[in-house]
A and B are shown apart, each in its own frame.
Chain A
Amino acid sequence: DAKTTQPPSMDCAEGRAANLPCNHSTISGNEYVYWYRQIHSQGPQYIIHGLKNNETNEMASLIITEDRKSSTLILPHATLRDTAVYYCIVRVAGNNRKLIWGLGTSLAVNP
């Protein structure tokens, strides 16, 4: 599975959009981009995933560049409860494969 690079930390003002970048320059054609987050003292939580088209759900939007070498997770109106570590993971789709985690981005949403 391809490696990802994320900034170690970011800040965002409450109510503003939080844009979390992820670089995955070695991604291959059959690898998806997944995002999870982990709020302090809780287990990780799935957010969204995509292959090459932009995706949106009730939690966030995922923008993948045309060359697929990077992506951005967008939380459109960040709240204090969005303060968490956000993990970008790249892997081949397929049922029930393990996730390989990096260090993620620690997002602090400030009032």
Chain B
Amino acid sequence: GAGVSQTPSNKVTEKGKYVELRCDPISGHTALYWYRQSLGQGPEFLIYFQGTGAADDSGLPNDRFFAVRPEGSVSTLKIQRTERGDSAVYLCASSLSGLSSYNEQFFGPGTRLTVL
């Protein structure tokens, strides 16, 4: 079946611009996560959705970052007034919600954001 997809795969923008990054999770997965990854580093947690609501947004670095998941499926990560330091690969993952001890997270290929 289809995995997690992310669009665009690459985004180049100028400092100060607004960008939106989209994530399509695996069908039926109620949990959705956003991470970002800088070169040579492990992924860094940003936000986690359970259904439509943000269950944990403790990783969002500041109020320029915002994410939505209005219908509990597709999610959009929005970055306002982009800065050069926002350049990274933005990863999306989804997982099932259930009673098992662990639901593995399935990752998309990421969106590479470059802020000039």
Contacts and interface: CB of A to CB of B under 8 A. Distances in A.
A32 B101 CA distance: 10
A68 interface: no
Given A42-B109, A44-B107, A93-B102, A101 B43 contact: yes
Contact of A44 (B55, B91, B98): B91
Nearest to B95: A96
Interface residues of A, number: 22
A101 B38 CA distance: 12
The DSSP consensus for interface residues of chain B is loop
A38 B102 CA distance: 20
Interface residues of B, number: 32
Given A95-B97, A95-B103, A99-B45, A43 B108 contact: yes
A103 B41 contact: yes
A46 B100 CA distance: 16
Contacts of A100: 45
A28 interface: no
Contact of B107 (A34, A43, A97): A43
Interface string A86-111: 01000001111111111110000000
Contacts of A43: 4, 91, 93, 107-110
Interface in B1-15: 4
Can you list the 10 inter-chain pairs with the closest CB atoms, starting with the nearest? Answer: A43-B107, A101-B42, A46-B104, A96-B31, A98-B45, A93-B101, A101-B43, A44-B107, A43-B108, A43-B109
16 contacts: A43-B93, A43-B108, A43-B109, A44-B43, A87-B42, A93-B102, A95-B97, A95-B98, A95-B99, A95-B102, A96-B31, A96-B50, A98-B33, A99-B33, A100-B45, A103-B40
Interface of B: 4, 31, 33, 35, 40-45, 48, 50, 55-56, 59, 91, 93, 95, 97-110
Interface of A: 32, 34, 41-46, 49, 87, 93-104
